[in-house]
């Protein structure tokens, strides 16, 4: 899929999650969830694309659509450890699709999406951007160590990352040079 502008990234919204609501400073789950919905819909238009890198909600799978129905945009879910429903359930849950991993290109930028961060990923030595969740921006690595990776965890003050913000932030970072041979440079190595 080649996405277009009006593309957004986020993860770890944790709808219906009492502990996350409390950790984020909300008095109740309802207040937490309503704040996310309000900020999300102030940024995302109905036809936009939203890539959610997992941990969408902590509720029975059948209740997920209560949230997706209220959110603007076409939501593509990369399943996280709190997302316990299968791929075939995407339409009934309000998602355009559900996957464990996804690679895509937006204009001239390549992206790898996963709920969990990787040390190395497809084309990482060529500048592909790794967008993940799960860590709630708690990794202690320096930006130089992380290379072109970003934790897209929900930001209570800023919400989602726009494609423009994502590209701007990643253009500031250097490609991390891992001690892993590049397949293109070592033909026959897979």
Which pairs with CB-CB distance under 8 Å and at least 24 residues apart come from 103-107? 104/1, 104/2, 104/3, 105/2, 105/3, 106/2, 106/3, 106/4, 106/7, 106/163
Residue 111 to residue 127: CA distance in whole angstroms:
9
Q: What is the pLDDT of residues 12-27, one digit of tens each?
A: 999 999 999 999 999 9
User: Would you place residue 135 in the very low, low, confident or very high pLDDT band (cuts 50, 70, 90)?
Assistant: low
Spell out the domains of the chain, with CATH numbers in brackets.
Answer: 2-171 (3.60.21.10)
Q: Give the per-residue pLDDT at 108.
A: 86
Highest-pLDDT range among 8-12, 86-90, 112-116, 118-122: 8-12
Rounded average pLDDT over 161-179 = 80
Q: Hey, how many other C-beta atoms are within 10 angstroms of the C-beta on 139?
A: 14
Highest-pLDDT range among 46-55, 87-96, 137-146: 46-55
Three-state SS string across 134-148, please? CCCCCCCCCHHHHCC
Residue 107 to residue 129: CA distance in whole angstroms:
13
Q: What is the pLDDT of residues 116-130, one digit of tens each?
A: 887 766 666 777 888
High-pLDDT (> 90) share of the chain, %: 52
Rounded average pLDDT over 15-43 = 97
pLDDT above 60: residue 185: no
Q: Give the per-residue pLDDT at 4.
A: 58
Query: Residues 185, 188, 176, 79: is their CA dihedral positive or negative?
Result: positive
Strand order in the sheet with 2-3: 2-3, 101-106, 109-114, 129-132, 149-151
pLDDT above 50: residue 75: yes
């Amino acid at each position: 899929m080649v996405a277009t502008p009006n593309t957004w990234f986020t993860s770890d919204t944790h709808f219906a999650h009492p502990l996350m609501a409390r950790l984020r400073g909300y008095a109740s789950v309802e207040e937490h969830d309503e704040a996310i919905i309000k900020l999300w819909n102030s940024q995302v238009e109905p036809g936009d694309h939203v890539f959610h890198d997992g941990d969408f909600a902590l509720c029975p799978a059948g209740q997920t659509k209560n949230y997706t129905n209220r959110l603007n945009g076409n939501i593509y879910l990369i399943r996280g450890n709190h997302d316990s429903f299968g791929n075939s359930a995407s339409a009934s849950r309000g998602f355009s699709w559900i996957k464990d991993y996804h690679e895509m290109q937006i204009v001239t930028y390549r992206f790898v999406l996963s709920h969990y961060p990787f040390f190395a990923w497809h084309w990482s030595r060529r500048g592909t951007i790794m967008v993940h969740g799960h860590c709630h921006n708690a990794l202690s690595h320096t930006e130089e160590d992380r290379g072109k990776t970003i934790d897209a965890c929900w930001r209570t003050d800023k919400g989602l990352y726009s494609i423009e913000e994502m590209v701007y932030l990643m253009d500031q970072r250097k490609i991390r040079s891992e001690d892993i041979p590049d397949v293109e440079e070592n033909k026959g190595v897979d």
